[in-house]
A and B are shown apart, each in its own frame.
Chain A
Amino acid sequence: MPQVTMTVNGQTHTAEVEGRTLLVELLREKFRMTGTHVGCDTSQCGACVVHVNGESVKSCTTLAVMCNGANVSTIEGLAAADGTLHVMQEAFREYHALQCGFCTPGMVMSAIDLVNKHPNGITEQQIREGLEGNLCRCTGYHNIVKAIAAAAEVMQGKRQEMARAAD
């Protein structure tokens, strides 16, 4: 069986995989990083999104062997070592952008890449279109869109505070 070596959230991992093993299977079953989820089998739902070399990819549609030597980031690696949440994680919490939490890891990873790809700011319509590849059945996306917009402003230095208006 082929052997793959990759960096996942800053740590080097090596494993033997079948040719057909998917990146998400490797992460979940061999590396026991179960934060990345599988919600479909047609590359539609995006619950499996991780970053490979800084770009968001669907790990259910990526063969593990394709990631030999790659730098992989997953939801587990986002928060700081002291537990401080990433701005996008904090925004999802502040804006109630998650309910059951199943789509959340993929949604957060996609959202970060989306904001990174719009360094000069992002509109609501761009966020909605940019989330085409991520399905959520709980929230109706309303709060996800608001959370990403707020996180983008903080990530891009346009505002300091994450807190939403008092309610």
Chain B
Amino acid sequence: MNVVTPFEGIGASVRRKEDFRFLQGRGAYTDDADKPGQLHAWILRSPYAHARIKSIDSAAAASMPGVVKIYTGADMAKDGVGGLPCGWQIHNKDGSPMAEPPHPVLAQEKVRHVGDQVAVAIAATRQQARDAAEAIIVDYEVLPAAATMAAALKPGAAAIHDDVAGNLCYDWHIGDKALVDAAFAGAAHVVKFDLVNNRLIPNAMEPRSAVGEFDRSSGDYTLTTTSQNPHVIRLLMGAHVLHLPESKLRVIAPDVGGGFGSKIYHYAEEAIVTWSAGKLGRPVRWTADRTESFMSDAHGRDHVSHTELALDANGKILGLRVATQANMGAYLSTFAPCVPTYLYATLLSGVYTTPVIYCEVKAVFTNTVPVDAYRGAGRPEATFLLERLMDVAAKQTGIDRVELRRRNFIQPDQFPYQTPVALQYDSGNYHATLEQALASSDWAGFPARRAEAAKRGKLRGIGCSTYVEACGIAPSAVVGSLGARAGLYEVGTIRVHPTGSVTVLTGSHSHGQGHETTFAQLVADKLGVPVAQVDIVHGDTAKVPFGMGTYGSRSLAVGGSAMMKAMDKIITKGKRIAAHLMEASVDDIEFDRGTFRVAGTDKTKALVDISVAAYVPHNYPIDELEPGLEETAFYDPKNFTYPGGCHIAEVEIDPETGITSVISFTAVDDVGRVINPMIVEGQVQGGVAQGIGQALLEACVYDSDGQLLSGSMMDYTMPRADDLPSVSVATHTTLCTHNPLGVKGCGEVGAIGSPPAVINAVVDALSDYGVTHVEMPATPAKLWQIINSGRRAAAE
């Protein structure tokens, strides 16, 4: 009898294994835990953007019902608790290192942003802890605040950190200025353009949470936390903050409810609960309410740029000049310095053959929440700048915007392509993704749709963006030379159990990406083990050997490659066992999806025969081979991967209200080989939603005193179901040439390609109003003003 099993390997839309628990309320998120003897922490946060702490009186709070302890920064200093470390050091133009001021876990003498941690109240219940925190009396001397980069850079601005001159973190550059100046001197067209990349608040739906535990008998600490990379947290907190060896500190990141970058970083609360648990000998837990998330999760983007593009008479780009100011917030978050440099300026060649590029970046401290990587991290900022610039250049030169892009594309036969800003793209086909998107969106038929909309009184516009980005982060030696204080390899262990089921231990972490399914598909494809018999273990430093975590679409490209490498080792060892069992030469053993065969014969052994022999080694080459069937591999990538593609948005603006509706959205992305098409589509749709959110809805707003005005979901416009269109997603594949899977990554593409496509469409819709640019978010109020001032001008 033939048993037909559905294909579960690479390329199959296998339904997700993790869904059963999530759909039945059985997910295990950090805040779901219930620890015997647990205490609750509530963090008292600064209500001021910049103030000196003159005194803290916690006597009344300490005597309130249920309160066990109040800690302040002085308690931590006395105990030698260190500051939160920064994981990336950038060097200034002159070679000197960036300014790297201390980032205390609890404020020492000063607070520097609204939401800065001042003290912690620990009590029997969360409400008691909150009541106590509110009863702590802090005497603040309020200082002038610099809420914007412009304010912080103004001569005479208040110093946010005493030893940081001019509030400047670094002044960095890349590229050859003299060559760029020469290119501009010979240009037929020079396009100059200023733009802002709006500040965003990530808002993963699960608020951050952390539980610290201390085992009095062993002296071991355990931190359960909402993290994308538990090993990184163990390393940073253990080595720099609490001075604990890895062997005494276990970090668990269980089910995590979305990250988008904001859960990469080591946060103060993780150190607070772990340290307090040790002090008090009881579990201490903390969960942010959403208000705290707004003022303590790392924010994203926040660039102000001036850009100049030089073109020849035919529209061929000759050179690009960019000057960017990037907001770091009040302190350096874990990876903040690399975002506006090596994840941004290195992408400024885009999909174009720009021969010379010069970019300088000033990173600025302000009295705002720290800013770090948020979905795309630098690449959305580079793409928005380039793709707006291309449309502005098209208008100025009179060349069709699609044609201008085509004329400047890197051609398919030019790969590997060395850009003038350090990166070498391994593969891509930008014509193919463009043409596919143009056809799919019926770009050619747009004028008729615009005319039809005009009859209904609506302003219709269409916009495209063609992009490339960098994922699969990243070769350790390369990032080390650029200032990273870590290696960026990944680790995978394949454990084939005696009866043939498989456990995979991976340093990658799933917080929505579906690793438990996709990674199991890799094993199904390579070892022939059914997905149902493959268990993926992640998120626990006590189980997984090591790992650098999940961000920058590195899980498959780097983590998946580590698994492939470990499976190669399993197959190599399995062949030796099979050769012994079948009395053949190792060189004659072939392996294909679960079956070892003596080449050219019908003699076979299944993987389970090999695993049984490996663990019950009665008939086994025991003198030459260790028993067991488990292999670990570390994989260090050879290059970044370079997903690319084309996004097209079509919008309608109601001139009476200024409301923009995204009528259709087409994404054609090259993410390399696709393991699970269903999951890839979902990743792109979600990324596009965040990109449309950035373009039309989301804005983090501070007032001039540094008060966060968009500090709740009533004030910060999260995209809702009726704000968004259905998203047409397709892929066009060129394989990554340097990892074993050929994968490039799909986590960020949606958020990278979409904002300029939407704004290009909005500007196109407003083309009769003389508009060349609209800053994000293109809110109804902003567009209504543009339309109505245009109407007034026409009437006068």
Contacts and interface: CB of A to CB of B under 8 A. Distances in A.
Given A37-B29, A41-B289, A140-B685, A108 B512 contact: no
Nearest to A146: B726
Contacts of B162: none
B19 A34 contact: no
B547 to A, nearest CB: 19
Interface string B277-295: 0000000000001110000
Tell me which of A35, A92, A108 has the highest count of chain B C-beta atoms within 10 A of its own C-beta: A35
B25 A76 contact: yes
Given A40-B290, A41-B712, A140 B686 contact: yes
Nearest to A130: B721
Contact of A100 (B257, B713, B726): B257
Nearest to B288: A41
B23 interface: yes
Interface string A17-44: 0101000000010001111111111101
Contacts of B16: 93, 96
Nearest to A134: B721
A101 B258 CA distance: 8
Interface string B704-740: 0000000011100011111010110000000000000
Interface string A64-105: 000000000011101100000100010011101011111111
Interface stretch (B114-122, B144-152, B204-212): B204-212
B505 interface: no
Given A96-B16, A141-B721, A32 B25 contact: no
A78 B258 contact: no
Nearest to A101: B22
B13 A45 contact: no
Interface in B117-138: 127
A75 B678 contact: no
A143 B682 contact: yes
A101 B727 contact: no
Contacts, number: 179
A14 interface: no
Contacts of A33: 25
A150 interface: no
Contact of A93 (B23, B682, B719, B722): B23
B27 interface: yes
Tell me which of A103, A125, A138 has the highest count of chain B C-beta atoms within 10 A of its own C-beta: A138
Contacts of A99: 258, 512-514, 682-683, 686
A100 B204 contact: yes
Given A39-B207, A131-B720, A98 B22 contact: yes
Interface in A135-163: 135-145
Nearest to A129: B722
Contacts of A167: 13, 677-678
Given A42-B713, A45-B205, A142-B727, A96 B682 contact: yes
A128 interface: yes
Contacts of A93: 15-16, 19-20, 23
Contacts of A135: 205, 713, 718, 720
Which range holds the interface residue count of chain A?
35 or more
Nearest to B292: A41
B27 A101 contact: yes
B26 interface: yes
Contacts of A89: 23-24
A131 B13 CA distance: 27
B489 interface: no
Contacts of B205: 37, 39, 45, 47, 100, 102-103, 135-138
Contact of A40 (B32, B514, B688, B713): B713
B258 A137 contact: yes
Nearest to A98: B22
Contacts of A129: 721-722
A20 B127 contact: yes
Contact of B721 (A40, A45, A47, A145): A145
B471 interface: no
A69 B523 CA distance: 51
Interface in A100-137: 100-105, 108, 124-125, 127-129, 131-132, 134-137
Given A101-B22, A139-B682, A41 B726 contact: no
Interface in B508-542: 511-514
A137 B290 contact: no
Contact of B726 (A36, A37, A142): A142
Contact of B714 (A36, A44, A79, A144): A44
A37 B206 contact: yes
B539 to A, nearest CB: 13
B515 to A, nearest CB: 11
A40 B721 CA distance: 17
B109 interface: no
Contacts of B682: 96, 99, 138-139, 143
Contacts of A32: 34
B371 to A, nearest CB: 19
Interface string B193-205: 0000000000111
A158 to B, nearest CB: 21
Nearest to A86: B23
A153 B26 CA distance: 27
B260 interface: yes
B690 interface: yes
A-B pairs, top 5 by smallest CB distance, nearest first, are A35-B25, A102-B257, A140-B689, A101-B22, A100-B512
11 contacts: A34-B31, A35-B27, A38-B207, A39-B290, A42-B290, A96-B682, A99-B686, A105-B25, A140-B686, A140-B689, A141-B721
Interface of B: 13, 15-16, 18-27, 29, 31-32, 34, 127, 203-207, 255-258, 260, 289-291, 511-514, 677-679, 681-683, 685-690, 712-714, 718-722, 724, 726-727, 750
